[in-house]
Amino acid sequence: MIPTNRISAPRCFQPLRFRWLGALLLLWVMWFPAHAQISDAKVEALVEALRLSAPNAGPDAGLYSDWKIKPDNIVRWSKRCLDQEVTPEQFAADQALARPVLVCVMGKVLRDQFTLSNNNEIVAVQRAAAWWMTGDPDQYRSSAASAYTLRVLEAYLRFF
């Protein structure tokens, strides 16, 4: 055996590059799991569940489209999601125009609620439905909103 004068790094430092990769992977998994688990198909299912669960409001209620939406929301959401204002009448007359706006708005809401509910999809859907109905996702269990949020959840679950 020939002696060498090379000093080798301690064993704990040899796989340092693998530890960095592992740490980065762990950070990525911890940072992005909520958005990865709520697919576009799930957002579209929620939007359809909201349409199916919309209240039977008469023509004098001032709500538009099959989703029964307030006119100011239509204008604000269409400007944000389409970069153009859409009138409530245009929105109500064209589901192909309305649906992408609602997917845009509810995608963020559902993904945020999924994160806030500790990645519980059932609770996230109910919280998103409460947000849709009241503007406050924490109302999903309140007596005023719980029947509606359960109706939305039931309609949503039919798609999966």
Residue 3 has pLDDT above 80, yes or no: no
Render pLDDT for 7-52 as a digit per residue (tens, 0 to 9): 555 555 545 444 544 444 444 444 444 445 999 999 999 999 999 9
Q: In terms of C-beta density within 10 A (0-12 exposed, 13-18 middle, 19 or more buried), how is residue 99 classed?
A: middle
Q: Is residue 109 in some structural domain?
A: yes
Q: Is residue 13 in some structural domain?
A: no
Q: Which residue has the tokens 């309140």?
A: 142
Show Cβ contacts of residue 98 under 8 Å, excluding neighbours closer than 6 positions: 65, 66, 67, 91, 92
Q: Is residue 12 in some structural domain?
A: no
Q: Is residue 7 in some structural domain?
A: no
pLDDT given for residue 57 in this prediction: 83
Q: Is residue 26 in some structural domain?
A: no
Tell me which residue range forms the domain holding 103. Answer: 35-55+63-157
Q: Is residue 16 in some structural domain?
A: no
Instruction: Write out the DSSP string of 84-147.
Output: S---HHHHHH-HHHHHHHHHHHHHHHHHHHHHHTTS-HHHHHHHHHHHHHHS-GGGGGSTTTHH
Render pLDDT for 120-142 as a digit per residue (tens, 0 to 9): 999 999 999 999 999 999 999 99
| Number of folded domains that form the chain | 1
Letter for the amino acid at 90? Answer: Q
pLDDT given for residue 59 in this prediction: 72
Backbone angles phi, psi at 9, to 5 degrees: -70, 150
Please state the pTM of the whole predicted model.
0.77
Q: In terms of C-beta density within 10 A (0-12 exposed, 13-18 middle, 19 or more buried), how is residue 62 classed?
A: exposed
Helices vs. strands in the chain: H and E counts, helices first: 8, 0
Q: Is residue 6 in some structural domain?
A: no
Q: Is residue 123 in some structural domain?
A: yes
